[in-house]
Structure 1
Amino acid sequence: MTWLAAASCLAIGVLAAAPDAHARITQIQILTRGTAFGSHSFAGVGQYEFITGIATGEVDPNNPQNSLITDIQLAPKNAQGHVVYKHNFYILQPLDPSKGNHKMMYEPPNRGGKTYQTLNNTPTGTNDPAALTDATVLDDSFLWTRGYITAWSGWENNLGPLSGLTATASLPIVGTNPSNPVTGPGYEYIVSPPGGVYTLVYPPASADQSKATLTHRVHLDDPPQVVPSSGWTYVNATSPVDNSVIPNGAIQLVGSSFVANDIYEFTYTAKNPTVNGLGFAAIRDFNSFLRFSSHDDFGTPNPINTHISRIYTETSSQPARTLNDFVHLGFNEDESHRQVFDGMMQWIGAGDGINMNYRWSQTKRTNRNRQELLYLEGLYPFANVPTFDPISGTSDWRYRRCEETHTCPLATEFYSANEFWVKAGSLMSTDPTGRFDLPDHPLTRNYLLSSKQHGGAGNPATKGLCQQFNNPLDSAPVQRALWIDLDEWSTGGIQPPASQVPLLRDHTLVPPTQSSVGFPSIPGVTYTGLKTTRYRFNMGPDFYKTFVPTINPPVFVPNYEDNPADGRIYPSFVPRTDNDGNDIAGIRLPELVVPLATYTGWGLRSGVWANDGCEATGQYIPFQSTKAGRMTAGDPRPSVQERYPSFNEYRAKVVVAVDHLVRNRFLICDDTQDIVNRLLQAGLNAGVPAPSAGESTSAPDPVPACSGHMPPHYHYHLVYDHNDEGQNK
């Protein structure tokens, strides 16, 4: 079957639940269950209940869907020859199933923490959402007021006890027999270890310090300086799971402490690798169980009290990269050949995977332009559509396996400008040679949130380690709109908005030089064009067949950026800016359409680390309020008062910008009033003239697009032609 024919088989109908196929979750243990949110009742939905528990799963290592998990054949097996794992879970669902919407939001947590709050419009920082009791907060929530089931489960190994609120899994270790251990090259990138002690992900095979090397440097491109073996030592570590002692499981310096934010690297021989790829099966099998099974092997009922018609995932950063690999490796098909997820909203994952399906992988690591560059994250294929990789000489794409089995999810690929600068995000929408733009996959859309930093909104009053103030642009309202678009796509076949990304062909995607980007020369702002490079790592001659490295880390020499001496390079690009320094392409928030500042997805460090990357953090560089101030500062950007001679003019432009996003389905009406009122106050704070007598200082109620009939949904179709070098037709 051709790619196009397979991809066009989008099933709008609901998957029929099979009668108790033997799901690979074999046991459900309920730990706690009760009424959630202090018994708060949501209008039209009623009360919610919370459920926490532990799931036990088994996989057959000889099943082709599982056999691709690295080291699965070496893992301990039960009497049935299956590999066993466990993870905890947390569920919130309407007490009265008839009042719910029969849809589930599933989030694979980020390093054990729940990050759904941005989408849900609820306070961040809690792993126990059922403990929320503020009625105003709850009634402003996005998911629960709409009757969604919300669920989380562990998939990363040993983040804490299974009985806790941190989402964690217990995955098997291979080679623990002391007479026949599995050992190999271990590598740790160390920055700011708390308390001066750094716990190794994998314990050393030997306490002989002559078989390990610790280095130190200040800047990324400084030559690493070897710390003599007398300058560091192995010490015991404490297990985060049960507080047991791990002999020689950590290192510390002798007579001094690690310097915060300096770079240390530790290479050694490690032992006892974890079968981390089982985390994919844990996500697959738990969701399959909730969706299709009535009870576990011991008769414990499925904790979900209703039929699930749709499962959509919500991810942020690390778990988005996890689900990129989850789909590519075929895990959206369960062992009974049913589709697991209907739709995925992938926030800030872009073109990267987590690449935990190799020996000595470390799931919590992430590459940026100063940190953790030598962990295998940016591995071909980067895109959802077919491409040819001239470096490996192979053709592949993320949706290849699921197309063959008709189990592909719809996907909203939504990412920040930071992903282009520090994650080589352009590889999501360009071919691996960097010569042409790629079309959309019929089941996915790509959206850049222009000029946005990675993650949530930054505090514009603080700088931290960076040279400029933090970027305060907020993705949350757009995420909620895209969630609605995804749901309408899945349930009604309504096509979502067209992809919004910078393109090579219209020169909105360019090399990072200042002249190419068009970034203005702003007094006090340093521009270096620092951008992360994607290399094809050399991790040993057979690595890309076995996924067992014999070289770890890859051999690199400074300069780390675009250095052919470090390996074959996948060309990547960054968004072009307007004269203010704000990205031209993508979804442009009102802050960019009616600007008061320059916003960037990239940032640079200050202090002794000056001009190294500031990683996930972007920049907020306000305009001068008056022309006189601008002239004194030598700022080429027009001042606030030059742009907006009156409050009424500024107010009108803000309303039009918000209205435009609603009409294009990138905002929902629920969010417009708060956005307009916030921006009007921001304008006054920045120097927009105060309103004259009779001028309104608040948003129209509602903005025009929300006052009546919304525009019709527009349908479009892209055809991919294998003979057309990936151009849209």
Structure 2
Amino acid sequence: MTTWETETRRVYAGGRTFGDHGAFEILEGRVRYSVDPADPRNRGIVDLAFAPRDESGRVGFRGDFTIIAPRDTTARKLLIDVPNRGRRLAFSILNRARPTELLEDPCAPGDGFLFRRGYALASIGWQWDVSNGLRLDAPEVRADGEPVEGDVVCRVQPGTDRAFVFFGQLGEVTYPPADPHDPGSRLFVRDDDNAPLIEVARHRWRFARERNGVVERSDRHIHLDDGFERGRIYTLVYRARGARVAGCGLLALRDAAESLREGDGPVAPGIRRVVAFGASQTGRVLRHLLHLGLNTGSRGKRVFDGMHVHIAGGQRGDFNHRFAQPSSAGVPAAGQRFPFAGTRVRDPLTGATAGLYDNLTHMPKVVITNTSFEYWRGDAALTHVSPDGTRDLVPHPSERNYLFAGTHHVNGIMPPTNVFAATGEKARYAFNVVDYSPLVRAAFANLDAWVSGTTPPGSRVPSLRASTLVERSTVLRRFAAVGGFRGLDPDRLGGLSALDLGEGVEEGVCDFPAVEGKPYARLVSDVDDSLNELAGIRLPEVALPVGCHTGWNPRHPEHGAAELPAIFVGFSHFDGELATPGEIERRARDCVRTLVADRFV
């Protein structure tokens, strides 16, 4: 059950028209959700049974929404845009609104790509712990009427030597410690993700910060006697109080989509197709939603016809366990466990047999797009290879999987720089400049056509069969042969491993830190003589080639751990003689014509 409360309704984009679909309007407000914990469709949501209930025995919660829909015509297609940490995605990634436009209006239309194709768009708040943007008021977990306590885990890798660090996970601190003086709180340190955790004596650290030379209590910082060392990885585990039912965010996405599809929301009835788009964190949200089988509505019908899962790799995330932190990334937890691929396969490390889509009654069409970064992170290959990396998997018939060769997580960055604008920290080399935006749009357009019956292009990923899927060390040896080049240490690169999270993990109660077992396969595309990736969809910069473009980039020595990768970025390197501009243009046009013919741009 959903109730839509529209707070503002106005003409969108100054009345600009979008082809035959005319002018649009924008609606913003709140959605009231009401779910039945006894409904079998909701059985996978951790702690839903412990949330407060109303007189009818249902659990209620509310969330934000933004809807943009035709003003005078009826939309036949709906895109559910899954906000990343409160930020709407489709306007920048699919409509290609410029950053300057989005600063003035977070819903700037860009070139109107979606609206010209007849889409209504609904951005649905699903994350409860964001302070800005679209959010959800998730219910609290109660046991015998009292808030529950449990373990929280955080990861910190400082870029400078410092006396204290903030331990928020790509955002605010989700759960402050229940007792800052708890002797059971633990802090560990290691030099890389493959090294053993070394516990730091409790008397040497505390929940505190320094201000004007004075150490003062803080529930968002930890202070260490000898200071934190740049580049080292610190893992913090402590007890918190007052868990939220984080999985209600997944129910919000499902139920809002169903309501709009069935004509029960503020959009005119008539929607025939519903697709979802998520990127990075929210690509992992969609993978989690699929894994839980949340694609059946209250009337027993399909909710989503298709999903575009962008730059999620092979992971799910912190979206459905007790004391989950939805913004967390890189911390071994419940969302980093098998299965990784849609195709059903046996995991030789745990003995389990499963596929990501096993719990679905209604299978949507799924388009997966990843950059080289997600492969080098150590998990994207698991979407199409066996967990031990010994064989290619038979592709799932309702899935397409594409690698954007020679690209990185945050898309091409121009003008060239090696400095992160948000933090001022550096990577060793200038960031990757390859703009893969045309590939994202084409992948979405192919999904749009697929849900209406047109078969999309086949998957383009590296494979064992084609000898293009290799260990990271194989590629790094090729780079090491280049004089003066400083690469990564392959023995220190992370990835996914079999995890022991305690006996309660199947009920969503985890013991932290996770005990990490044997590693899963951590494979990447091999490279050609120009050191560009052989497999995947190759844009002209990679195929011609014009320079060398990667999905990995070493940390800058100033920030420590220079043999480990900087987060999210690759690099572009230009060396040697290039062909004449005329020759480059001719070859680039030939390359683009082939990409267009293959429906990749």
Query: Could you say whether these structures have the same fold, taking a TM-score greater than 0.5 normalized by the shorter chain as the test?
Result: yes
Q: Say yes or no: does 1:594 pair with 2:547.
A: no
Aligned pair partner of 2:66 in 90, 108, 116: 90
- Looking at structure 1, the residues matched to 59 and 581 of structure 2 have their Cα atoms a distance apart, in angstroms, of 66
Q: Report the CA distance between 1:145 and its aligned residue.
A: 2.5
Shift of the 505–218 alpha-carbon distance from structure 1 to 2, 3 Å rule, reads closer
Give the conservation status (yes or no) of the 8 Å contact 1:454–1:617: yes
Task: Map residues 253-652 of structure 1 onto 2, 5 A cutoff.
Answer: 253=223, 263-294=233-264, 302-367=265-330, 372=331, 374-402=332-360, 405=361, 407-459=362-414, 461-464=416-419, 465-491=426-452, 493-514=453-474, 518-519=478-479, 521-527=481-487, 528-529=489-490, 531-543=493-505, 545-549=506-510, 551-555=511-515, 566-607=516-557, 608-624=560-576, 639-640=577-578, 644=579, 646-652=580-586
Displacement of 1:185: 2.2
Secondary structure of the residue aligned to 2:142 is coil
**Structure-1 residue corresponding to 2:423:** none
What is the one-letter code of the residue matched to 1:187?
V
Quote the Cα distance in structure 2 between the aligned partners of 1:400 and 1:143: 31
**Aligned pairs for 1:93-132 within 5 A:** 93-98=69-74, 100=75, 102-116=76-90, 117-124=92-99
- Residue 536 of structure 1 aligns to a residue in which SS? strand
Cα offset for 1:476?
Answer: 0.9
- In the alignment, what sits opposite 2:137? 170
More deviation, 261-270/211-220:
211-220
Is residue 192–residue 259 contact of structure 1 (8 Å, CA) maintained in 2?
yes
Q: How does 1:26-37 map to 2 (within 5 A)?
A: 27-37=3-13
Shift of 1:586: 0.5
Tell me, yes or no, if the aligned pair for 1:78 and 1:84 is still in contact at 8 Å: yes
- Which whole-Å CA distance do the structure 2 matches of 1:223 and 1:483 have between them? 42
User: How far apart in 1 are the matches of 2:45 and 2:475?
Assistant: 46
Q: Relative to structure 1, is the Cα distance of residues 515 and 173 closer, same or farther in structure 2, using a 3 angstrom cutoff?
A: closer
Q: What letter matches 1:288 in structure 2?
A: E
Q: Which residue of 2 aligns with 1:673?
A: none
Pick the structure with more strand per residue: 2
Aligned-pair identity (%): 28
Distance 1:42 1:409 in 2: 28
CA distance in 1, matches of 2:514, 2:248: 25
Which residue number in structure 2 is paired with residue 561 of structure 1? none
Instruction: Tell me how far 1:455 sits from its aligned partner.
Output: 2.7
1:67 is matched with which residue?
Answer: 43
1:484–1:107: structure 2 CA closer, same or farther, 3 Å change rule? same
Cα distance, 1:366 vs structure 2: 1.6
Distance in 2 (CA, whole Å) between partners of 1:252 and 1:515 is: 38
C-alpha displacement of 1:256: 9.9
| Residue of structure 2 in register with 1:680 after alignment | none
- Opposite residue 311 of structure 2, the aligned amino acid is I
1:219-263 per-residue CA deviation (whole Å, 9 max, x = no partner) reads 66597572754653358xxxxxxxxxxx97433438998777654
**Could you list the per-position Cα deviations for residues 432-452 of structure 1 after superposition, in whole angstroms to 9, with x for gaps in the alignment?**
232210122111111111111
How much does 1:524 deviate? 2.9
Stretch of structure 1 that moved more, 412-421 or 512-521: 512-521
Change in Cα spacing, 1:130 to 1:602, as seen in structure 2 (3 Å) is: closer
Give me the whole-angstrom Cα distance separating, in 1, the residues matched to 2:357 and 2:52: 31
Using the alignment, how far apart are the partners of 2:106 and 2:191 within structure 1? 43
Counterpart code for 1:396: A
Which letter does structure 2 place at the counterpart of 1:226? V
What SS class does the counterpart of residue 376 from structure 2 fall into? helix
Quote the Cα distance in structure 1 between the aligned partners of 2:499 and 2:207: 30
CA spacing shift, 1:386–1:214, aligned 2, 3 Å = closer
- The secondary structure found in structure 1 opposite 2:285 is helix
Deviates more, 1:469-478 or 1:218-227: 218-227
Amino acid at match of 2:151: P
Residues of 1 paired with 2:344 and 2:390: CA distance? Answer: 15
Contact 1:516–1:576 (Cα < 8 Å) also in 2 = no
Asked if the contact 2:381/2:524 (under 8 Å) is kept, the reply is yes
What amino acid is aligned across from residue 575 of structure 2 in structure 1? F
146-155 or 353-362, which deviates more = 353-362
Q: Residues 105 and 292 from structure 1, CA distance in 2 versus in 1: closer, same or farther, beyond 3 angstroms?
A: same
Deviations 1:153-191 (A, max 9, x none): 11111313xxx7x110011111377x8542222222234
Distance change (3 Å), C-alpha of 1:148 and 1:522: same
Going from structure 1 to structure 2, the CA distance change for 1:132 and 1:60 (only over 3 Å counts) comes to: closer
Choose 650-659 or 39-48, whichever is displaced more.
39-48
Change in CA separation of 1:222 and 1:211 when aligned onto 2, cut-off 3 Å: closer
Q: 1:186 aligns with which of 130, 133, 152?
A: 152
Q: CA deviation at 1:42?
A: 2.9
1:660 is aligned to 594
Query: What is the deviation of 1:599?
Result: 0.6
Greater CA deviation, 278-287 or 255-264? 255-264
Letter of the aligned partner of 2:482 in structure 1?
Answer: I
- In structure 2, how many angstroms separate the alpha carbons of the residues matched to 1:114 and 1:256? 41
Q: Cα distance 1:128–1:109, how it changes in 2: closer, same or farther (>3 A)?
A: farther
* Change in CA separation of 1:173 and 1:422 when aligned onto 2, cut-off 3 Å: same
Q: 1:613 to 1:585 in 2, by over 3 A?
A: same
| Residues matched between the structures, number | 575
- Counterpart of 1:142 (choices 98, 113, 117) is 113
Alignment of 1:54 onto 2:54: no
Distance verdict in 2 for CA 1:486–1:648, change over 3 Å: same
Cα drift, residue 203 of structure 1: 3.2
Aligned to 2:220, the other structure's residue is in SS state strand
Deviations 1:642-676 (A, max 9, x none): xx2x4433222111011110010011xxxxxxxxx
String of CA shifts for 1:111-157, please: whole Å, max 9, x gaps: 11112212112124777886767xxx74x331123332111011111
Q: Residue 339 of structure 1 aligns to a residue in which SS? A: coil
Partner residue of 2:184?
211
